Structure 1
């Protein structure tokens, strides 16, 4: 996987430090967010925005483990964020989100003392860890678990639903992934989801096919979590019901240039396979 086109200044050094720190503390982790998305986009001829954020989901067994990771990073020149207790700033100026999940969760929420944001929801993080990552060898020489595109869609739906007033970019990212998914994963789709072609689906768009496949892949991840299953279906169906009054749909329209009816058709295709 060629990471050259998405490499930020000092990214290799950041990866070296984080990998060493996680391993020294016996912590497993995977990459999420914009960098993870861009790694998959780099497989094809897909343009994407660069980012100064690097997001890792880290499996933490105790508050002490999380504290130790942060303290080790501070010894290596990292600094605290004044606005987010789950963020550290690298010596190169990159924002590193360390999002803990695992034994610390209370009703799928994690709270820490600190400055600014001190509470986050981690609904779906465990499911993605279990079934929604792939090992990728990066151009930097690192081999990391990377959240798959369907996993990223799952987490973005949840993040949007938790804080819709702040997370408007999530809606845009979701439709952007759906728009590019078929070209990026056409071989996988033909090999594993050939039943979606023809028959009653003969006249649907490739974006709707992509939405169906993404929904099926998400369904595999969350099958054992009935509450999460219901929540995701509720998010999608609720926004379909609102149509042009839905902020999520309006953001998808703005990102994609599609009209409300086309966005609704894509979400309907996704909802159908979430409910299977």
Structure 2
């Protein structure tokens, strides 16, 4: 079965980044434990959310995050809720995890919240999941499959080696735009993360590729390097997004750009303490440049 999954791209061995000695020991131990249990069950997973953001920006590219977090977010590819429950049961049986009141959340070492989001065949045709037991809480997982298929592999530990898949920065932007639209309670955090990734995308290991492959963008953005970075990111998103995901992103960004009440993503960016000095009009320009890249 594992060999079949490898052929389908569900288990990757090519290492994009080595972060030996860079990650917090709690993160390493958590991901190592999860990796062993998930692999034993042949359940593919990848790191998303703030943990993925920090792994790629702070640890891989020395770009400090604007907000600290202890949240651990994981996407797991499962066919049904029985498979999801099997993973939860094994994690709980390891005595490293304890249950919480929320179906999707466990606590690692009784301190660190771990949100586990299922995607794949478990989702409905519109890309949503409804959580048991009442199935009255719906969540969008649009983009998760796209992002998993384009995730990068990171070596987090040696002897024995542990390699985990992490959502790419372009993938994170997809997930965070969808999350922003889907979850009102997280809008401020999602918006701030979106803006930070957009602002730093070229600096996060994309400089050489930008000048080699996208030399037309600077001219189209009137030599505005920052807006060119946002548009470049939009083009990278298109390379990985399915037609349904692309349509979802375009609809959200177009709606906000045309809203008479103002661009709510930009307003949510400015609601965060670390972003209060930013200009509303400038933040809107970044998101509009991102949209132009998706539409290119």
TM-score of the aligned structures, taking structure 2 as reference length: 0.82
Deviation at 1:194, TM superposition (A): 2.6
In structure 2, the residue corresponding to 1:52 is in which secondary structure? coil
1:79 aligns with 2:98: yes
Shift of 1:237: 1.7
Q: 1:126 aligns with which of 145, 159, 172?
A: 145
Unaligned runs of 5+ in 2: 1-17
1:161-208 per-residue CA deviation (whole Å, 9 max, x = no partner) reads 1123442210111001111222222123223323323x333432x221
Match of 1:37 in 2: 53
Unmatched 5+ stretches in structure 1: none
* 2:193 match: 173
Counterpart pick for 1:54 among 52, 64, 72: 72
Contact 1:85 1:115 in 2 (8 A): no
Deviations 1:31-58 (A, max 9, x none): 1111111111123332224422211111
Q: Structure 2 CA distance, aligned partners of 1:44 and 1:73?
A: 31
Secondary structure of residue in 1 paired with 2:76? strand
1:191 aligns with 2:208: no
Q: Which residue of 1 aligns with 2:4?
A: none
Give the 3-state SS of the residue equivalent to 2:47 in structure 1.
Answer: strand
Shift of 1:111: 2.3
Structure 1 segment 225-244 matched on structure 2, within 5 A: 225=243, 227-242=244-259
Matched, 1:24 2:24: no
Q: For 2:169, which of 149, 152, 156 is the aligned residue?
A: 149
**Deviation of residue 219 (structure 1)?**
0.7
Kindly report the root-mean-square deviation, in angstroms, between the aligned alpha carbons of the 2 structures.
2.3
Q: Cα offset for 1:62?
A: 2.3
Change over 3 Å in CA distance of 1:221–1:81 after alignment to 2: same
Q: In structure 2, do the counterparts of structure 1 residues 50 and 233 end up closer, same or farther at CA, with 3 Å as the change threshold? A: same
Runs of 4+ in 1 over 6 A off after TM superposition: none
Q: Is the 8 A contact 1:6 1:50 kept in 2?
A: no
Q: How many residues align?
A: 269
Determine if the alignment matches structure 1 residue 182 to structure 2 residue 198: no
Q: Give the corresponding residue for 2:12.
A: none
1:248 equivalent in structure 2: 265
TM-score normalised per structure 1: 0.88
- Pick the aligned partner of 1:160 from 180, 190, 204: 180
Separation (CA, whole Å) in 1 of partners of 2:247 and 2:144: 16
- Structure 2 residue aligned with 1:211, among 230, 241, 245? 230
Verify the 8 A CA contact 1:86 1:118 in the aligned structure 2. no
For 1:116 and 1:65, the matched residues in 2 are separated by 17
Residue 270 (structure 2) pairs with residue 272 (structure 1) = no
Counterpart Cα distance in 2 of 1:209 and 1:244: 27
Q: How far did residue 105 of structure 1 move?
A: 0.7
